[in-house]
Amino acid sequence: MTVPSISLESESVRTSATLAAGIAACDAADDLAVINKPDVELVIWRRTLPLRLRTWLDRLDASCLPDLRILVRPGDLRNAVEPQLKESGMPPGDMRDLLIGDIDDLVSAFADITRSDLVDVRLESISHDACWKFHQDCVEARLLTTYRGPATEWVQPIHAEQALREQKRFKGPLEHIRSNDVAIFKGSCAGPGSGIVHRSPPIAGTGYTRLLLCLNKLSATSPQPWPRGV
C-alpha cells in the first residue's frame, strides 16, 4: 500500500497520513529505534531486499525452508544459524549467505534497540494458519519480517476491539505489512494501553509457504543460550 507521508520528528522517520498517531514508518534500520518513544506502538521499515535473494527464496522447495529457534548473543548469530540451515536442506552459496547476513543485521539492530544481551530468534516455515487470531503480543517488543509469502496483517487502534471481538468475521479495514518490510510491535507488556492488534495471514489451503523471522527479548519460554549450557 503506497500512501502519502508527513514528517514525524526527523526527515527519515515518517508516519502515513492514513495511519493513526503512534504508528510510524521509516526508511532506514537505525530509525526503528523510534519504537522506544512512549507514544509509538508500531514502526515499519519499508525496505526492498535484493531481487536475486527474493527470487531464490520464492523458488526454493518448501521442504528446504528452516524451522528453528535459538537464543543468541548478536555476534554469535551466523555460527549458530548456519549449521541449522544446512540441516534443513537450504542450499549453500551466496544467497544463503545473504539471508544469514540480513538476519545477523536485524538481530544486532534489535539488540541495540531493546538493550538486550541475548535475542530469541525464530525462523519459521509456515504453511498453515499459525497465529491466525487477532491478538496483542504478551511481550514488550517484537520484530517481525516475512522473507517469503504473505506478511503480517494488523489493524489500527480504533478498530482493535472490533477485530478482537469478531476475529474471522472482521471485514476490515485491515492493514498489510509488505513482504520483506521490518516491523517492531510493542506488546501488552510495554505498559497500559500498549499492543497493536495483528495476526498472521490465514493461508491454509492456498499452497503458500511463508518464511517468517521473529525476534524477541529473553523470556521464560526462551531456549537455553547458544551454545547450549553457556
What rounded mean pLDDT belongs to the chain? 88
230 found inside a domain: no
Q: How high is the pLDDT of residue 80?
A: 97
Q: How high is the pLDDT of residue 228?
A: 63
| Higher-confidence position of 172 and 166 | 166
228 found inside a domain: no
pLDDT (tens digit, 9 = 90+) per residue, 126-157?
Answer: 988 777 889 999 899 999 999 999 999 999 99
CATH number at residue 88: 2.60.120
Domain coverage including residue 171: 5-217
139 found inside a domain: yes
227 found inside a domain: no
pLDDT (tens digit, 9 = 90+) per residue, 6-22?
Answer: 223 333 333 333 456 78
Indicate the range of 4-13, 25-34, 98-107 predicted with least confidence: 4-13
226 found inside a domain: no
132 found inside a domain: yes
pLDDT (tens digit, 9 = 90+) per residue, 186-197?
Answer: 988 888 777 899
Strands of the 141-148 sheet, one edge to the other: 5-10, 13-16, 23-26, 42-45, 182-186, 141-148, 210-217, 119-126, 68-72
229 found inside a domain: no
| pTM summary value | 0.88
- CA–CA distance, 83 with 78 (Å, rounded to integer): 9
